[in-house]
Amino acid sequence: MFSNSVIKKFVSIKNNLPKLDNKGGLLMPSSLKFEDSDFMKYRHIPVNWEIKSVSEDCLPEEFSPMAVKLVDMFRRKTIDLPYEIMLIFDYKTGDLIYCFVNDDGSGDEVFGVVDEDILFGRNICIIHNHPIEYGSSPSSENFQILGLKFHDYEIISSNDEIWIIESKELLSENEINDIRDNIQHLYLYSSEIAESSNENENEIIKQCDELYGNLLLRYINNHHLNIKLTKQVL
């Protein structure tokens, strides 16, 4: 038989773990009162248990075990999808705050409207997936984080990689436009270089993706402003 202290310890551990339904979906925290039909769709997406886990080593130290679990589950649910989903969550508590599912679009975008008052004062991370027909690297539009006060981390989950942007300082509109413009140009110049040195379309795509990804990592991490970009290969 277990002693009272051991039972208390088990209860404490259980209370700190994310709550999952029988399909592996994270349950909406009871603190959230709004109806969310996109979240209902998200909950019912099957989980791919065959892929490698996203562990705490893949994510920033500040992420709680519940947040790590949320990211892992997001990747398992979205890895086989042809469309994009975006979750907004608190990376210290693991609370899911918004969920947007774009299951009737072309697969290359997801959008949603959020209330800044709900997010203010929280530790916000936004995660979205890039379907397999799209590049894994962040696009210039994925750097909206630079202009949002409440937003600390952006995660992009793709078939074989996870990209993490960290930016806790608010940049001016001019700086943001400059960075996004340069990122867009790095993508275009990478395409041009890859196309001029390859004939095979698959090779062009592969070289462009690799070159753009490497240039992006170097550009962001060498930038004089305090922005961090990391890539985890899974």
Within positions 160 to 199, which residues make up the interface with another protein, using CB under 8 A?
A: 182, 185-193, 195
96-102, strands of its sheet edge to edge: 96-102, 84-90, 124-129, 151-157, 161-166, 228-233
Rg (CA), the chain: 19
Q: Residue 161 and residue 51: Cα distance in Å, rounded?
A: 12
Kind of pairing between the strands at 96-102 and 84-90 = antiparallel
Q: Which of 116, 160, 169, 210 binds another protein (CB under 8 A)?
A: 116
Q: Which of 32, 47, 204, 234 binds another protein (CB under 8 A)?
A: 204
Contact stretch for another protein (CB under 8 A) within 9-17, 25-33, 48-56, 83-91: 83-91
Q: Which of 123, 128, 152, 180 binds another protein (CB under 8 A)?
A: 128
Contact (Cβ atoms closer than 8 angstroms) between residue 131 and residue 107: yes
Nearest Cα neighbor of 162 from 62, 58, 91, 80 is 58
Q: Which of 47, 134, 175, 234 binds another protein (CB under 8 A)?
A: 134
Q: Residue 230 and residue 39: Cα distance in Å, rounded?
A: 28
Contact stretch for another protein (CB under 8 A) within 10-18, 39-47, 66-74, 104-112: 104-112
Contact (Cβ atoms closer than 8 angstroms) between residue 119 and residue 88: yes
- Of 26 and 126, nearer to another protein (C-beta) is 126
**Total residues at the site for another protein (CB under 8 A)?**
48
> Is residue 23 involved in binding another protein (CB under 8 A)?
no
* Residue burial 6-15, b: 16+ Cβ < 10 Å; e: rest: eeeeeeeeee
- Of 205 and 234, nearer to another protein (C-beta) is 205
- Of 4 and 121, nearer to another protein (C-beta) is 121
Contacts with another protein by CB under 8 A lie at 84, 86, 88, 100, 108-117, 126, 128, 130-131, 133-135, 137, 139, 141-142, 144, 148, 182, 185-193, 195, 201, 204-205, 208-209, 212, 215, 218-219, 222
